[in-house]
Amino acid sequence: MEQTWRWFGPEDNVRLPQIRQTGATGIVTALHHIPYGVEWSVEEIEKRKALISADASLGLRWSVVESLPIHESIKIGKGDLAPLFDTYRASLRNLAKCGVRTVCYNFMPVLDWTRTQLAYALPGGGTALRFNYHEYVAFDCFMLERPGAEEGVSDEVMAKARAWYKASTEESRNILLANIMAGLPGAYDRYDVPGLRKMLALYGEISREELRENFARFLREVIPTAEEVGVAMCVHPDDPPRSLFGLPRIVSSAEDLDFIVKAVPSPANGITFCTGSLGAGAHNKVAEMARQFAPHVKFAHLRNVTKDPDGSFMEADHLGGDNDMVGVVVALLEEQKRRRDAGNDNWRIPMRPDHGHELLDDVGKPTHPGYPIIGRLKGLAELRGVMQAVSQLKGLPL
């Protein structure tokens, strides 16, 4: 698998020479400064490519776009969407012209990944990302005051949520809001409580089925263009794979992934297989899903989580946690061999270590939450060892 690294662009405190020291050669990045719904021009794409390749001795290339965002109006499915679809297709054509042909994206309404703690203390002084279900419930019920937020919440969790809110200060409530907003990467908007209420209201009574149809419409509009220009689109799963703030989630299970790949059958309609996002759902058996959907996987995020019975979870060591990471690696390496044997020139699947712990000298540094260099380097080294061992033992190409 091609070893890649997420880089947030020239403002990222992790620099390109440091990334090369990790052993990664593929860069995963996006033009975060361009607003949603605005075309990515050839000029802007080439400018980012030039930054990545400026030092030829590093041997780095822009391997994957993460993400080419979808305007919220497309997800809602209202208004004149034709210009937005035109713009998205134009961006895909421009990326293809510049030789960037793998595009990760998501269809999560309003928010991307969601955590309630960004610096959960680990033994020895490191930190991890964590989702505490009772803190999320406290936010939803008592800060956001969303109608119906208490539905489906157990008495035990509600009691913990109420106790947390009662003991909270204005500062701790502001920290919780900031933590929940931190999953919006780059320069995207953050919401205060009134702003989040306003965004949620835009979805009104949109059902899971309606959101699914809006997604299928997006696929019908853009996948033919992606196939025409040789771009692989790969949807990222919901994180976590459950409804949040009353919003439906539609990329959360094997049944969801099956719906997506069948909605518009095409080699351009693929999946970003994120073991951490899918693995945060007790209903998902991640290694089995990797085998089931391997032919559709265009990009892999490899990380692990440890789940609690109440629905909370924490980012674990890459080879720790609840997910069978070795089983996932075997499935992906076997799929690579199938592609190579079938004569596919682009048979390698790009992968990256995801959401590392904050460790050693990284503790307290101003990096994007979940993206310190040392924790991800540790994860990549562990995953590289697994890939090498599996490759030698089973005779599979790396």
Q: Could you list the active site residues?
A: 236, 274, 301, 354-355, 371
Omega into 154 within 30° of 0, i.e. cis? Answer: no
Cα dist. 269→60, 149, 231, 337, 346 in Å?
Answer: 26, 35, 9, 20, 15
339 closest CA partner among 30, 92, 248, 331:
331
CB within 8 Å of 161: residues ≥ 6 apart: 134, 135, 137, 138, 141, 142, 153
Cβ–Cβ contacts within 10 Å for residue 301, how many?
A: 24
Distance between alpha carbon 391 and the CA centroid of its chain, in Å? 27
279 closest CA partner among 245, 261, 251, 303:
303
Omega into 240 within 30° of 0, i.e. cis? Answer: yes
235 closest CA partner among 269, 210, 265:
269
Q: Position 297: which residue type?
A: V
